[in-house]
Amino acid sequence: MKENQKEGEVRSMTTTVQKWGNSLAIRIPAGVAEQMNIQQGSEMDMNVGLQGITLVPKKRKPTLEELLSKCTPENRHEEVDFGVVGKELF
């Protein structure tokens, strides 16, 4: 975040719509992309309303490795025995 920009403050700028194949595109300045943690391939939610278009970066789903790295002996629970449930072969 820029030093002169307060958290939660909306920053306004002008950009130009350009042709990209049969569609239109808007470039995101490098500083804004860095601030919003957007890279090439980032998924965005596009909201279209009467006031205009809003783009919001989608939250990235963590990988299995990232989730497992948060498992520690302190936050693991003991095995749970559900008893005989069905006709499983194990």
Answer for the pair 29, 13: CB distance below 8 angstroms, yes or no.
yes
Task: Identify the CA nearest to 44 among candidates 28, 26, 59.
Answer: 59
List the chain residues with pLDDT less than 70: 1-8, 90
In the block, residue with structure tokens 């559900």? 82
Q: Tell me what pLDDT residue 7 has.
A: 67
Architecture of domain 17-75: Ribbon (2.10)
Locate 14 and state its tokens.
């002008």
**pLDDT tens, 12-37?**
888 899 999 999 999 999 988 998 88
**Model pTM?**
0.54
Q: Report which of 33, 74, 75, 81 is spatially closest to residue 55, judged by C-alpha positions.
A: 33
pLDDT score of 4: 59
Rounded-to-integer distance, Cα 55 and Cα 73, Å: 40
